[in-house]
């Protein structure tokens, strides 16, 4: 009897075990089939949707991609910063290609920046400590004073307008968050190096596409975009040539980023000890200079010469710099007076330095500046936010400054914020450059000295460009400008190792 019970028990156990194995096998097979079928069904659904309802299909894909991007920004602030950088460089191109320039670029940039900062908050980062460190840099404190002063301009009796103040407040919040995010992230050598690598990649990519536009000509979708606006078309095709804009909103944006990038990465190349990497960086810089020339914007010629001069001036204590400075001066004079073949780029460069003050457009700008000086002197707090140019016509029709073309970041700030606000901004610029120069001469690490010099020269390039263009207003400008400031602020206090290592690209 007992033997029969044992046999029966073993039989039941075998049956149960076989059933479990069969069930487990069935579940595993089900998971494998689902892993294959679900993506296939999803792809089929999107394909049918795109075929029948293209706009709806694109919208659905955009929604999924957008959700994934925002999730990455929340979970990883460093990745979020790179996404913001990529967005700022490429969005105008995709806007032209797919959406006929219908996307409001600034709104989505604000969403990306806000989401990345939100990730800091929900991960309970020590924002209070970061804030104290930021203010302790003095540059951060001065910047906050400038922002507070700008906010008080809302109540300026010369041009009060809450509606006009909203975009200004939005921009202040966005650029401050970019700076704060970069400042919080750049605590280690690796993170600073990764940012430099990513910036180099997008600068070179933009330069390559500008060359493609010049050598191939504008693509059909770009020509359609240009023809859609007669003024845009006229401003692009001048003197028998065409101003190339690469991925950016216009040629001015390309020229600013390429000139700043050329100066910054020249500084990186000078201190690079690995010859292969140095040659790679130099090749990238050459492409950026060529792309800058294809923009046909004269301001960029002054910017790059001023930036390289500042870089050489800071690092003049090095023998290599003195040799390169001599070679650079000889090259500059050769381009200016040498027996070159005539083309738009060379002609424009020569006109900038040999006949720039006699140029009709320059003379008109000078007359405009002189005509508006009495207003600037009599209004120490300025005319109010968004009162100049087309913004003035939109928000303050009938205002003395409405429709007046400042054609300069400095003049725009002086007119809207007054000479008091303008003086604060100039003091901020001075403190930023002073921080960079002091960092270079007080640091013992060759790598850190290189970064101080490169960042300071690149920031000086921005400041020179702002004299004749609004060089720090577009999203493409601020995602480069403020992280460079963050690097300068972080280098002395970021506990980076003082080793003679190279910054790789």
CA distance 260 to 477: 10
Q: What are the phi and psi torsion angles at 241 (to 5°)?
A: -125, -175
Q: Name the band, by pLDDT with cuts 50, 70 and 90, for residue 353.
A: low
Q: Name the band, by pLDDT with cuts 50, 70 and 90, for residue 52.
A: low
Higher pLDDT, 231 or 354: 231
Average pLDDT over residues 443-465: 88
pLDDT tens digits for range 142-159:
999 999 998 888 888 876
CA distance 356 to 303: 14
Higher pLDDT, 163 or 247: 247
Rounded to the nearest integer, the mean pLDDT of the chain is 79
pLDDT score of 483: 93
Q: What is the CA radius of gyration of the chain?
A: 28
Instruction: Enumerate long-range contacts of 316-320, CB under 8 Å, 24 or more apart.
Output: 320/270
* pTM (two decimals): 0.83
pLDDT of 317 over the 70 cut: yes
pLDDT of 499 over the 50 cut: no
Got the DSSP string for 412-441? HHHHHHHHHHHHHHHHHHHHHHHHHHHHHH
pLDDT tens digits for range 97-123:
877 777 777 788 888 888 888 887 787
* Least confident segment among 141-155, 255-269, 331-345, 403-417: 331-345
* Close Cβ partners of 347 (under 8 Å, ≥ 6 residues apart): none
């Amino acid at each position: 009897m007992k033997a029969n019970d044992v046999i029966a028990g073993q039989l039941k156990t075998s049956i149960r075990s076989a059933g479990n194995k069969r069930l487990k096998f069935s579940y595993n097979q089900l998971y494998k089939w689902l892993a294959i079928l679900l993506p296939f069904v999803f792809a089929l659904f999107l394909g049918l949707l795109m075929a029948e309802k293209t706009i709806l299909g694109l919208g659905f894909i955009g929604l999924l991609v957008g959700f994934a991007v925002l999730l990455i920004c929340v979970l990883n602030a460093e990745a979020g910063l790179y996404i913001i950088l990529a967005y700022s460089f490429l969005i105008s191109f995709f806007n032209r290609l797919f959406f006929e320039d219908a996307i409001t670029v600034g709104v989505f940039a604000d969403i990306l920046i806000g989401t990345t900062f939100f990730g800091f908050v929900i991960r309970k980062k020590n924002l209070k400590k970061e804030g104290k460190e930021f203010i302790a840099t003095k540059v951060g404190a001065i910047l906050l004073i400038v922002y507070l002063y700008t906010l008080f301009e809302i109540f300026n009796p010369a041009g009060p307008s809450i509606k006009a103040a909203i975009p200004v407040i939005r921009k202040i919040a966005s650029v401050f968050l970019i700076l704060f995010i970069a400042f919080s992230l750049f605590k280690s050598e690796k993170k600073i190096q990764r940012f430099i690598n990513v910036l180099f990649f997008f600068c070179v990519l933009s330069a390559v596409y500008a060359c493609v536009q010049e050598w191939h000509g504008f693509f059909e979708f770009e020509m359609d975009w240009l023809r859609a606006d007669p003024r845009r078309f006229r401003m692009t095709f001048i003197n028998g040539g065409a101003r190339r804009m690469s991925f950016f909103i216009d040629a001015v944006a390309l020229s600013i980023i390429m000139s700043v990038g050329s100066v910054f990465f020249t500084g990186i190349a000078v201190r690079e000890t690995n010859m292969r990497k140095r040659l790679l960086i130099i090749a990238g810089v050459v492409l950026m200079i060529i792309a800058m020339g294809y923009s046909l914007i004269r301001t960029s010629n002054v910017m790059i010469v001023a930036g390289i001069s500042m870089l050489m001036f800071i690092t003049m204590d090095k023998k290599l710099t003195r040799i390169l400075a001599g070679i650079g001066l000889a090259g500059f004079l050769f381009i200016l007076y040498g027996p070159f073949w005539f083309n738009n780029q060379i002609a424009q460069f020569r006109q900038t330095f040999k006949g720039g003050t006699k140029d009709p457009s320059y003379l008109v700008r000078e007359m405009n500046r002189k005509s508006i000086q009495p207003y600037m002197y009599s209004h120490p707090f300025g005319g109010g936010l968004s009162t100049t140019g087309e913004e003035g016509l939109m928000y303050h029709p009938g205002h003395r400054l409405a429709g007046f073309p400042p054609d300069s970041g400095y003049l725009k700030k002086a007119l809207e914020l007054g000479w008091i606000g303008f003086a604060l901004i100039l003091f901020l610029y001075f403190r930023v450059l002073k921080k960079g120069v002091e960092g270079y001469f007080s640091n013992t690490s060759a790598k850190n000295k290189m970064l101080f010099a490169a960042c300071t020269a690149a920031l000086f390039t921005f400041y020179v460009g702002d004299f004749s263009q609004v060089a720090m207003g577009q999203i493409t400008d601020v995602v480069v400008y403020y992280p460079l400031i963050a690097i300068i602020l972080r280098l002395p206090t970021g506990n980076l190792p003082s080793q003679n290592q190279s910054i790789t690209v």
